[in-house]
């Protein structure tokens, strides 16, 4: 072990060795992995080793596909047998809704380029897995590239391949301390002190402790997980192939062959946390005592699904811990506020996702950005609120117990809620508000009659007519929306304008004005669809998506310059918006200032009733509107003031479900759908806001796109011949049987009475009037490209 390395990776499981391998293969050979025991000690050695294509997040599914492709490569590079058994895999559905979901998921996989899947009947599935009973099943999905590997062999293959590229592996050497220095990090170990520029926490069950060494409280927790290995099953001796990896979604079980027996794993409803503060340092190859009573219901379902198990014994029980995050996805990336400290933790499906995690983190560290859009596993998707132990316990337990439970797009899950609420939350609840969650905050979805309960559904919900009424109120009169759930950053200092000019690709607004502002990464891809306000007193605001607060602040901090202060106002400022033709009449009642004369995209400070507020003349509904920002403590009073003033103007309180419908009718995109860090300005139409005459982050790449052949895909608006269900995202788009794009978001346009979607399609098929096809909940529907902004295309209502 040397005294200095460029990178020190802590943890010798599948994730740590994958990170090491990818760093070394990409040219950073001066890297070292330090393991307190031996490679695989912790979770890796006892993992079931299953590999499969399915994931609810399409971006993570693509990284899983990368990992599957990589496995044979590292076996060849290292010379280490990884025991790869590519048996294929089945995912089975036993309820009508689940079967619908599986058909829809099949189309999603087509959208993201996973072509080796197909739907199968129950009869086909039983032929593929002859020890499975088809009773109660409705259908399934087959994937070619599924199976299992030898977990110990795979870890040693990653490590061996990394060493061939020059990396160092040090075992039996526990890390004792981490100390941040001006140059990077000091890693104090049992065998001496090592300095490095970057440190990677890939410590698995010990991630909590390694985080705390750097003053970081990671939102992770281990939970116990059972599987059993059966004795020999006679039926398996009579067939000349391995049965496929099989997931029974209704039975909470997965199964694969193990020699001439099977491994049956269970995601039990009655979950069990284990050592939430991290595993004991001496723990490594131990297991917890099996607890069949706790998993009795799932075991019974498993033995009924695979009747052959009823006639053989159990050879081995495994009850071992794996580390989970609140949403079950990994925690990967540069930890905000800790320069040079990287997380590669909570990779619950390490042998399936570890390759993609290692690749993305290595690219990020070396090149400044990962190739893929990895927001779904970026550690910055959480804020400090997620460090709370009770929150972690509730959310990780909820994810574990729902691992095979279907979650509907309109379903609100209860764990960790409510956490943060706007001050008017109680009054709005009394008025019928139904709440959703954005980051840590409760946000209004719609207002319903007393006793109303929304039914989870893949199709249009029973709240459809309620949302329609809110949309009608906005279009014809005036709607009041709580906008506490927008992010707000204050930028000040002598170099504030110069800094904003460098990080925003647009022209900056003049004093008293606001402007839409794309923000780009160095590679020219989007980092934000933001709005910049120039308040005219030397301070500026950046407004965007509330749930990106930590993510954006990390970006700002990484690109800050002297003489600039950026402050997150998310705990200080709340607000409401007025939208609709009567909004001007409402606000003019409340001030003697010229707020009613504020021109479109104007902004200024005004007295609204008894409150001093910041007001912007803009709205994403496509109607005349005002965004009114107040101190957090003034939120209740502002709501009452606006409701009183709007009583004779037909004012109705509305939620974000109405906003999503109204913005689709204007072809206004939103982050995480039309705009992501995987897309470019040219693809999304954001290039129309770029100021090409100035220098800004990402300009060279943006110019190359502009002056080249242009983007391969373009954002379009679709009118879909839907029936009772609307597009939501990642549905494939077809032209004459060829896949030409996918939906980015969709819904019902209540004003126009149309099912609408926005989609990225191949440029040659983006012309207005092009006839296409789209799968909606697995059913092919006719669609047509229409002109953008089908409601009020000239924007007269919005501009007043």
Identify the pLDDT of residue 62: 83
Q: What are phi and psi of 414, to 5 degrees?
A: -90, -20
Token couple for 94: 């036993």
Token couple for 667: 């072809």
- Which ranges in the chain are annotated with CATH 3.30.9.10? 4-324
Identify the pLDDT of residue 83: 97
Return d(Cα 324, Cα 395) in angstroms, integer.
Answer: 9
User: Does the structure show a pLDDT above 90 at 679?
Assistant: yes
Q: What is the pLDDT of residues 406-441, one digit of tens each?
A: 889 999 999 999 999 999 999 999 999 999 999 999
Identify the pLDDT of residue 572: 98
Where would I find the H helices in 620-709?
635-646, 656-664, 681-684, 699-707
User: Does the structure show a pLDDT above 90 at 204?
Assistant: yes
Full strand arrangement of the beta sheet holding 526-534 = 513-520, 526-534, 540-545, 486-492, 565-568
- Which ranges in the chain are annotated with CATH 2.40.30.110? 665-674+703-799
User: Does the structure show a pLDDT above 70 at 228?
Assistant: yes
Under the banding of pLDDT at 50, 70 and 90, the label for residue 595 is confident
Give the side-chain half-sphere CA count within 13 A for 515: 22
User: Does the structure show a pLDDT above 90 at 593?
Assistant: no
Under the banding of pLDDT at 50, 70 and 90, the label for residue 236 is very high
Average pLDDT score over residue span 268-276: 94
Number of residues assigned to the chain: 800
Q: In terms of Cα–Cα distance, which of 710, 721, 712, 714 is closest to 759?
A: 714
Pairing of strands 486-492, 245-248: unpaired
Cα dist. 8→214, 284, 404, 720 in Å? 14, 21, 36, 52
Under the banding of pLDDT at 50, 70 and 90, the label for residue 692 is very high
Identify the pLDDT of residue 52: 83
Helix/strand/coil (H/E/C) assignment for every residue in 150-207: CHHHHHHHHHHHHHHCCCEEECCCCEEEEEECCCCEEEEECCEEEEEEEEEECCHHHH
Token couple for 570: 């998310």
Q: What is the pLDDT of residues 309-361, one digit of tens each?
A: 999 999 999 999 999 999 999 999 999 999 999 999 999 999 999 999 999 99
Q: Specify the pTM.
A: 0.96
Identify the pLDDT of residue 318: 97
- Which ranges in the chain are annotated with CATH 3.30.1360.120? 486-661
Identify the pLDDT of residue 60: 82
Identify the pLDDT of residue 59: 80
Identify the pLDDT of residue 794: 96
Is domain 665-674+703-799 annotated with CATH 2.40.30.110? Answer: yes
Which burial class, exposed, middle or buried, applies to 694 when counting CB atoms under 10 A from its CB (0-12, 13-18, 19+)? middle
User: Does the structure show a pLDDT above 90 at 530?
Assistant: yes
Q: What is the pLDDT of residues 531-565, one digit of tens each?
A: 999 999 999 999 999 999 999 999 999 999 999 99
Gyration radius (Cα) of the chain, Å: 27
Angle, helix 58-78 to helix 96-111, in steps of 10 degrees: 60
Would you call 715 helix, strand, or coil by DSSP?
strand
Q: What is the pLDDT of residues 619-669, one digit of tens each?
A: 999 999 999 999 999 999 999 999 999 999 999 999 999 999 999 999 999
Under the banding of pLDDT at 50, 70 and 90, the label for residue 115 is confident
Would you call 786 helix, strand, or coil by DSSP?
strand
Dihedral of CA atoms 393, 399, 405, 408 in degrees, nearest 10, equals: 110
Under the banding of pLDDT at 50, 70 and 90, the label for residue 56 is low
Token couple for 205: 């069950």
User: Does the structure show a pLDDT above 70 at 458?
Assistant: yes
Q: What angle do CA 329, 442, 569 make, to 5 degrees?
A: 90
Q: In terms of Cα–Cα distance, which of 382, 398, 386, 92 is closest to 250?
A: 92
Third-level CATH fold of 486-661: Gyrase A; domain 2 (3.30.1360)
Average pLDDT score over residue span 775-793: 97
User: Does the structure show a pLDDT above 80 at 53?
Assistant: no
Identify the pLDDT of residue 112: 83
Token couple for 331: 């925690």
**How large a percentage of the chain has pLDDT more than 70?**
100
**CATH architecture under which domain 4-324 falls:** 2-Layer Sandwich (3.30)
Report the chain's mean pLDDT, rounded to a whole number: 96
Q: Give the distance, in angstroms, between the CA of residue 542 and the centroid of all CA atoms in the same chain.
A: 22
């Amino acid at each position: 072990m040397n005294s200095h390395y460029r990178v020190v990776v802590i943890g010798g499981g599948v994730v740590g060795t994958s990170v090491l391998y990818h760093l070394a293969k990409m040219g950073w050979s001066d890297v070292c992995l330090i393991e307190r025991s031996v490679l695989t000690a912790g979770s890796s050695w006892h993992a079931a080793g299953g590999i499969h294509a399915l994931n609810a997040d399409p971006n993570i599914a693509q990284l899983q596909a990368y990992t599957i492709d990589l496995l044979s490569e590292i076996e060849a590079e290292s010379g280490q047998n990884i025991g790869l058994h590519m048996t294929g895999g089945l995912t089975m559905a036993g309820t009508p809704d689940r079967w619908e979901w599986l058909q829809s998921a099949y189309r999603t996989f087509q959208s993201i380029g996973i072509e080796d899947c197909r739907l199968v009947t129950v009869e086909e599935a039983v032929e593929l897995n002859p020890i499975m009973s088809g009773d109660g099943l409705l259908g399934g999905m087959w994937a070619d590239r599924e199976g299992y590997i030898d977990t110990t062999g795979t870890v040693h293959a990653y490590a061996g391949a990394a060493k061939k590229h020059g990396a160092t592996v040090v075992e039996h050497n526990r890390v004792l301390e981490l100390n941040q220095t001006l140059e990077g990090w000091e890693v104090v170990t049992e065998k001496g002190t090592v300095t490095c520029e970057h440190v990677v926490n890939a410590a698995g069950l010990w991630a909590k402790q390694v985080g705390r060494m750097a003053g970081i409280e990671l939102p992770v927790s281990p939970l116990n997980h059972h599987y059993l290995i059966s004795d020999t099953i006679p039926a398996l001796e009579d067939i000349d192939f391995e049965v496929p990896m099989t997931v029974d979604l209704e039975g909470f079980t997965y199964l694969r062959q193990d020699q001439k027996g099977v491994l049956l794993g269970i995601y039990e409803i009655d979950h069990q946390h284990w050592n939430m503060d991290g595993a004991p340092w001496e723990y490594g190859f131990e297991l917890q005592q099996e607890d069949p009573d706790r998993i009795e219901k799932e075991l019974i379902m498993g033995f009924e699904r695979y009747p052959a198990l009823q006639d053989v014994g159990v050879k081995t029980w495994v009850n071992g811990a794996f580390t989970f995050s609140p949403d079950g996805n990994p925690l990967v990336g540069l930890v905000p506020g800790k320069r040079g400290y990287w997380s590669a933790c909570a990779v619950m499906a390490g042998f399936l996702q570890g390759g993609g995690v290692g690749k993305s983190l290595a690219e990020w560290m070396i090149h400044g950005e990962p190739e893929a859009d990895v927001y779904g596993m970026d550690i910055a998707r959480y804020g400090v609120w997620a460090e709370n132990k009770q929150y972690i316990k509730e959310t990780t337990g909820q994810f574990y117990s729902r691992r095979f439970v279907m979650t509907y797009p309109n379903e609100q899950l209860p764990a960790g809620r409510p956490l943060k609420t706007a001050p008017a939350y109680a009054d709005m609840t009394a008025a019928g508000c139904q709440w959703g969650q954005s980051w840590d905050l409760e946000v209004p979805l719609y207002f319903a009659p007393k006793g109303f309960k929304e039914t989870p559904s893949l199709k249009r919900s029973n709240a459809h007519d309620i949302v329609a009424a809110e949309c009608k109120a906005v279009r014809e009169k005036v709607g009041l929306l709580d906008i506490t759930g927008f992010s707000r950053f204050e930028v000040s200092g002598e170099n504030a304008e110069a800094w904003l000019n460098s990080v925003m690709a647009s022209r900056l607004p003049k004093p008293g004005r606001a402007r839409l502002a794309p923000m780009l990464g160095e590679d020219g891809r989007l980092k934000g669809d933001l709005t910049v306000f120039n308040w005219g007193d030397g301070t500026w605001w950046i407004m965007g998506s509330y749930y990106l607060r930590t993510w954006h602040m990390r970006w700002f901090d990484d690109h800050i310059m002297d003489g600039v202060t950026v402050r997150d106002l998310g705990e200080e400022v709340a607000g409401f918006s007025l939208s609709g033709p009567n909004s001007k009449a409402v606000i003019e009642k409340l001030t003697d200032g010229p707020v009613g004369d504020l021109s479109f995209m104007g902004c200024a400070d005004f007295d609204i009733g008894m409150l001093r507020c910041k007001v912007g003349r803009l709205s994403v509904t496509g109607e005349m509107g005002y965004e009114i920002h107040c101190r957090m403590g003034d939120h209740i009073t502002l709501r009452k003031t606006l409701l009183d003033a709007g009583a004779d103007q037909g004012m109705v309180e509305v939620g974000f479900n109405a906003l999503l419908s109204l913005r689709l009718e204007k072809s206004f995109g939103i982050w995480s759908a039309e705009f992501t860090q995987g897309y470019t300005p040219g693809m999304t139409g954001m290039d129309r806001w770029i100021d090409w005459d100035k220098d800004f982050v990402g300009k060279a790449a943006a110019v190359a796109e502009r002056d080249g052949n242009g983007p391969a895909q373009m954002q379009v608006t679709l009118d879909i011949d839907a029936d009772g269900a609307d597009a939501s995202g990642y549905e494939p788009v077809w032209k004459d049987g060829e896949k030409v794009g996918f939906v980015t978001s969709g819904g019902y346009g209540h004003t126009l009475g149309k099912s609408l979607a926005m989609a990225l399609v191949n440029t040659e098929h983006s012309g207005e009037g092009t006839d296409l096809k789209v799968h909606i909940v697995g059913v092919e529907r006719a669609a047509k490209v229409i002109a953008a902004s089908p409601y009020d295309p000239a924007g007269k209502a919005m501009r007043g």
